[in-house]
Amino acid sequence: MLAIDGTLFDFKRLDLLAMRESAVHRLDPRAKVLTTLVFIVCVVSFGRYELAAMLPFCLFPIALLALGDLPAGYIARKVLVVIPFAVMVGLFNPLFDRQVILQLGPLGIWGGWLSCLSIVVRALLTAAAAIVLVAVTGFPAICVALEQLGMPRVFAVQLLFLYRYIFVLTDEGGRVARARQLRSCGNKGMGLRHFGPLLGHLLLRTWERAERIHMAMLARGFTGEMHARRRGRFGAGDVLFVLGWSALFVTFRLYNFPQLLGMLLLGS
């Protein structure tokens, strides 16, 4: 029960962080969304063996983390969640790619290990950029920005409803878990065979509550249009933010700065 309530608060904390006042928070959401999209495209476009070349891209999430005054530990814990999934994606690469790419003395590094590690680094960078974007913008504002950038309204609204349904599901899950513990009388009803009916009951409860919420929205005049907490305009500062970071990302993509730095230090 406490774990579910803690998870619910953990989800809401991103929305609370997005309500802060800083230079990054005050930027137009479209500028931050466009910049993050350029960042993700540049990161995922690297070759499977290019690992060190992606390291300079750490500058973007770290800079937004500092400028937005975000808690580094909280963001790091969110980012580390993607590591098991990334490892599962690249886990079998060393079995199929045994070509020696790097020689460290007597030890030969297979290309499969490099490609696996490259997948993990990409996942960490893109996840960090996405989580920091939500923390400095807010998910509703991101959906509004996507609609303004050309996404069909029905997709943007469904994306926002899917995000809000997480809170409904977690809240109802906490109530169901609390009721189950109060009625368990020791270990009665705590076995695995009771989880099937419990999940079905949870789905029905969240469905009914979502229907009530939708009826309340219609009663208050909801027409499918989303409203952001901040209504700004795309000014000169936003243009500089997009162009400056995008130019830096393209430069990092075209030139391997860690390799150039290593050649400079070695004098070759």
pLDDT reported for residue 240:
94
Which stretches in the chain have pLDDT values below 50?
1-5
pLDDT reported for residue 11:
65
pLDDT reported for residue 56:
92
The number of domains in the chain is 1
Q: Whole-structure pTM over 0.95, yes or no?
A: no
The tokens of 64 are what?
């937004």
pLDDT reported for residue 138:
86
pLDDT reported for residue 233:
74
Whether 88 is covered by a domain: the verdict is yes
Contact 67, 22 (CB under 8 A): yes
For the beta carbon of residue 202, count every other beta carbon within 10 angstroms. 17
pLDDT reported for residue 156:
85
Whether 160 is covered by a domain: the verdict is no
Domain that includes residue 77, residue range: 2-151+234-257
**Judging by beta carbons within 10 Å of its beta carbon (0-12, 13-18, 19+), is residue 215 exposed, middle or buried?**
exposed
pLDDT reported for residue 90:
80
The tokens of 146 are what?
């996507």
Residue 9 vs residues 13, 17, 166, 178: alpha-carbon distances, Å: 6, 12, 12, 16
Residue 203 vs residues 184, 210, 232: alpha-carbon distances, Å: 21, 10, 38
pLDDT reported for residue 114:
81
The tokens of 258 are what?
């860690």
Whether 10 is covered by a domain: the verdict is yes
Task: For residues 79 and 81, give the distance between their C-alpha atoms in angstroms, rounded to a whole number.
Answer: 5
Closest CA to 57 of 128, 116, 120, 117: 128
pLDDT reported for residue 2:
44
Contacts with 26 (C-beta within 8 Å, 6 or more apart), sequence order: 230, 232
pLDDT reported for residue 4:
47
Whether 225 is covered by a domain: the verdict is no
Whether 250 is covered by a domain: the verdict is yes
